[in-house]
Structure 1
Amino acid sequence: MSHVLPASYAWGNFSVLAVGIWAIVQRDSLDAIIVFLTGLQLTVLTDIIHISVFYHPASHLGAVNRFSIGMAIFSLLLKPVSCYLVYRMYQERGGEYTFNIGVIRAGRDRGTYEPIDQQEAPAQWPDSSKTAQQPY
């Protein structure tokens, strides 16, 4: 029996599946979910490369090989939906995506930040604008 897709296709997808199980088990870990999201995005790219390089529609494939190629294409079509759902899980766990290119910023506004760990030192000289004026 001839294999249509190489072993690297299976290894890549099964390793992302293992990372996905890790991300589900560790509910408080942002690292696990971001590694899973990155792995899903990488497998979208590698799946496109694998299917485009190794699938030849002109060749005569058996029913099992046609079914496996169909499932690989179906998996590829569902991966953007999976990426969106995993990203929503990332946001629910408290992850914050900040994007910063020069002047354009997305994320929380930190302009009104006030440090609370430092006490203000009292002024050495009293403020002359707040003192009562001396009568002449």
Structure 2
Amino acid sequence: MEVPAINLKAIVLVHWLLTVWGCMAWLPPSFAWGNFSVLAVGVWAIAQRDSIDAVLMFLMGMIVTVLTDIIHFGIYYPRNSLTPDWGWDVFRFSAGMAILSLLLKPVSCFFVYQMYRERGGDYNVNFGFPSVSRNRDTYQSIDQQDESSSPANPFNQAQDSKPGARTY
């Protein structure tokens, strides 16, 4: 089954709009700073179409904001049903948009991961730790000999020269 191509601009625009609407009433500034910072990295990924790092950072930021959004909702959601000062309808709309943004983030992460793979990223995410690979395409076979050196003189030294002092 082929994954449909979703434009990165559409993902950033939808999450920007939902974040703006979610910040209207009840969420703290840390919610806005976190989400808008990740969306700024998304704009960077849009601007540099061939950058693997930009897409990877946007993907990691989206994954982290899923966790921070859950924490924000758990801490700041009002526990009583009293009408807040700004109006119950505005609160419900703002909460609904913030929750919708949270629900769409895993789907967006899936599409951003597909874009990461299309731009040449590895199938597995590499955090820069050294690893051992089994790719042996770059190795030269031992049976093939390089024509630049002859078997009798493997270090390309002149035959009649005296060995000089060794320099290390």
Tell me, yes or no, whether TM beats 0.5.
yes
Deviation at 1:112, TM superposition (A): 4.8
1:15 and 2:37 equivalent?
yes
How do 1:25-104 and structure 2 match up within 5 A? Answer: 25-61=47-83, 62-98=88-124
Equivalent pair of 2:25/2:94 in contact (CA under 8 Å):
no
Q: What is the aligned partner in structure 2 of residue 4 from structure 1?
A: 26
| 2:121 aligned counterpart, secondary structure | coil
Misfit runs of 4+, over 3 Å? 97-100, 118-124
Identity of aligned residues (%): 56
Distance 1:40 1:110 in 2: 32
Q: What is the aligned partner in structure 2 of residue 110 from structure 1?
A: 135
Structure 1 or 2: larger strand share? 1
Corresponding letter in the other structure for 1:110: N
TM-score (normalizing by structure 2): 0.60
TM-score (normalizing by structure 1): 0.73
| Coordinate RMSD, CA, aligned | 2.8
Deviation at 1:57, TM superposition (A): 4.4
Distance 2:90 2:146 in 1: 73
Number of residue-to-residue matches in the alignment: 117
CA gap 1:65/1:23 in 2 versus in 1, 3 angstroms: same
Q: Which residues of structure 2 form unaligned runs of 5+? A: 1-23, 153-168
Q: What is the aligned partner in structure 2 of residue 24 from structure 1?
A: 46
Corresponding letter in the other structure for 1:90: Y
